[in-house]
Structure 1
Amino acid sequence: MGEKEKLSGYGLALHTTSPQLGLTLSDFQGEEKTQTWDLGRDLATHLHVLLQELIHPHSWWELKLIAVAKGPGSFTGTRIGVATARTLAQQLDIPLFAISTLAAIADYEKKQHQFPDQDLIAVQLPARREQYFVGIYEVNANGLISYLPDQVMTETDWQATLNQISQPYHLVTPTEETLGKTVKSVLSLAVQQWEQGKRPKIEDAKPFYGS
């Protein structure tokens, strides 16, 4: 009732943790606009203009929730995305969902390949000093469940962790340059949390740099 009424508006998601910016706008009823841009270091210069273009011809006040990829990923890009999302959510007085970059990758892969329930999706991204950002998620009828929280591991420790897994798992190793396309999963994971009754506070949305 109340939840359905609010979700009749629009949701906006931002993915700024990689060189590829991803933005998506959806009304949860079939109308959707998703775009990616390879901006690299020009993110700060173009983000606000591209947001305005994406929203048009709708009003900002039609938004009912915002989702943002919180990292791990680029320090500067992640900080810009989270700060922008927090400002918008505060001005519009709507919930802001900060979604793991790795969880969005896992969700995107789940939808691409239709992995069976209870299978695991292990995600790794390059980090500094010959380390990886890693996380493992279990496929569930209702979405994804965290199996191993996002963290930084050496290649040796990560391989040892994978070797200890007894259930089927799928290793995903995307390149940073293509992560913007997972922005739709950033939004869908936020909606999943919404439907579970979660209404996070804006101040709880903080970048996760993987440390």
Structure 2
Amino acid sequence: MAIAPEPTLGLALHTTTPQLGLSLRNLVTGEQRTALWELGRDLSAQLHCYLQEFIQPHAWQDIAFLGVTKGPGGFTGTRLGVVTARTLAQQLNIPLYGISTLAAIAFRNRENCLGQTVAVALPARRGAVFGAIYQITATGAIALVPDQLFTPTAWADCQGNFPDLQVIDPPETIGDTVTEVLSLAQSQWQADPQGPWGAVVPFYGQHPVYQ
């Protein structure tokens, strides 16, 4: 009986904005392919089709692990991405790693901020902000202040507690940071190859209606 080859690919999904970002990396050669689509409200209807086309000519059985943005971000897109990734991980019996949208943005600046403390924020509803503070390493973003919802005043006060803090502005196309989502997921996979899919839940921060 032929032995099935070991899976050699890592796959990441970014759905917390109206953009869909997908990134696929060969874990042996380091070759990587990334794509971004502006889908808006069509994200929920087209995600699975784009996913199926994107992994070609590979098969799902070639995927060794999955990474997905868990928020903060849009309620519907965040939920859709996490549910899709959880379903795939469960069906394929592979590890899944949930990556903060803010951590991916922070890690994108690792070349300029290596070893430094950085602040990242995104606008939230009703004038609030989602903010977090990270220390950047060569392989990750260590949360010194985990992702949470702040009033503008509370966020300013929080930043004031960290001398020499670097403030990172989010890119115009946040979905592009799917490459960083994949890198952070790979680092977690190397440190903890289990990655139970059930542990990955969305971070909404705010209820879309009531808060």
User: Does the alignment reach a TM-score above 0.5?
Assistant: yes
Whole-angstrom distance in 1 between the partners of 2:14 and 2:90 = 18
1:10 equivalenced with 2:9 (yes/no): yes
Q: What's the counterpart of residue 96 of structure 1?
A: 96
How far off its partner does 1:30 sit? Answer: 2.5
Is residue 51 of structure 2 the alignment partner of residue 51 of structure 1? yes
Contact 1:11–1:27, Cα closer than 8 Å, also in 2: yes
- Aligned equivalents of 1:172, 1:41: Cα separation in 2: 28
> In the aligned structure 2, how far is the partner of 1:189 from the partner of 1:116?
15
Q: CA deviation at 1:151?
A: 0.1
Distance in 2 separating the partners of 1:91 and 1:53: 19
**1:120/1:138 contact within 8 Å kept:** yes
**Which digits, 9 at most, give the CA deviation of each residue in 1:38-90, with x for residues without a partner?**
11111011111111111101111000000000001000000100011011111
Aligned CA distance change for structure 1 residues 32 and 141 (closer, same or farther; 3 Å): closer
Percent of aligned pairs sharing the same letter: 49
Query: Are 1:149 and 2:146 matched, yes or no?
Result: yes
Give yes or no for the alignment of 1:173 onto 2:169.
yes
Aligned to 1:159: 156
CA contact under 8 A between 2:135 and 2:142: conserved in structure 1? yes
Pairing 1:7-156 to 2, within 5 Å after superposition? 9-28=8-27, 29-111=29-111, 114-117=112-115, 119-156=116-153
Going from structure 1 to structure 2, the CA distance change for 1:182 and 1:142 (only over 3 Å counts) comes to closer
8 Å Cα contact 2:26/2:32 also seen in 1: yes
Q: Alpha carbon RMSD of aligned pairs, Å? A: 1.6
5+ residue gaps, structure 2, are 207-211
Q: Any gaps of 5 or more consecutive residues in structure 1?
A: none
Work out whether residues 139 and 184 of structure 2, in 8 Å CA contact, stay in contact via their aligned partners in 1.
no
Query: 2:65 touches 2:189 (CA, 8 Å); kept in 1?
Result: no
- After superposition, residues 176-191 of structure 1 pair within 5 angstroms as 178-191=173-186
Contact 1:33 1:54 in 2 (8 A): no
- The alignment of Structure 1 onto Structure 2 pairs a total of residues equal to 201
Shift of 1:198: 4.8
Q: Partners in 2 of 1:141 and 1:32 — Cα distance?
A: 18
Q: TM-score, length-normalised on structure 2?
A: 0.90
**Equivalent residue number for residue 209 of structure 2:** none
Supply the distance in 1 between the matched residues of 2:97 and 2:126 (Cα, whole angstroms).
30
Partners of 1:98 and 1:78 in 2: CA distance: 11
